[in-house]
Amino acid sequence: MKVVIQKVAQASVTVDKEIVGAIEDGLLLLVGVGHEDGVEDIEYLVRKITQMRIFEDDQGVMNLSVLDKKAEVLCVSQFTLLASTKKGNRPSYSQAARPEIALPLFNQFVEAMSCSLGKPVPTGVFGAHMEVALVNNGPITILLDSKSPN
């Protein structure tokens, strides 16, 4: 499972000209599910993301987590994070889980994130064409891969 974390001043997801999810100060998470992912990947990523100290404290030092800050989180499924570009010019998505596997795991990820934060986590619409708008704050963008934690 791969997650791109973007610290944002605001973010929203629009489907068919309707905003389906939006947050202010917090994290936009782009989530890609691979066919070998499971509950242990979700647990690792939720723990890592919610404890990651990327918000500034009173001295301007990145010393606070999304939990400390009580910030919001918006999750958007994005299978293209599993793209392989090793051969040719057309990315291969063979490592991405099929929708019947990816959707339940994405939903479990969102539910685990919501439980950890103690509040609802808005999302995009799985499988839909989405327009994601954001104002990056920092900018701070971090890539996490549950298969190669660092």
Q: CATH for 2-85+93-145?
A: 3.50.80.10
What SS3 state is found at 139?
Answer: strand
Query: What is the SS3 string spanning 15-36?
Result: ECCEEEEEECCEEEEEEECECC
Each domain of the chain, given as residue ranges in start order, spans 2-85+93-145
Each residue's pLDDT tens digit in the chain (150 positions)? 999 999 999 999 999 999 999 999 999 999 999 999 999 999 999 999 999 999 999 999 999 999 999 999 999 999 999 999 998 899 999 999 999 999 999 999 999 999 999 999 999 999 999 999 999 999 999 999 999 866
**Which pTM was predicted?**
0.96
CB-CB contact of 96 with 79 (8 Å):
yes
Report which of 72, 73, 74, 52 is spatially closest to residue 64, judged by C-alpha positions: 52
**Which residues are catalytically annotated?**
78-80
pLDDT score for 133: 98
What CA–CA distance (Å, rounded) separates 143 from 91? Answer: 19
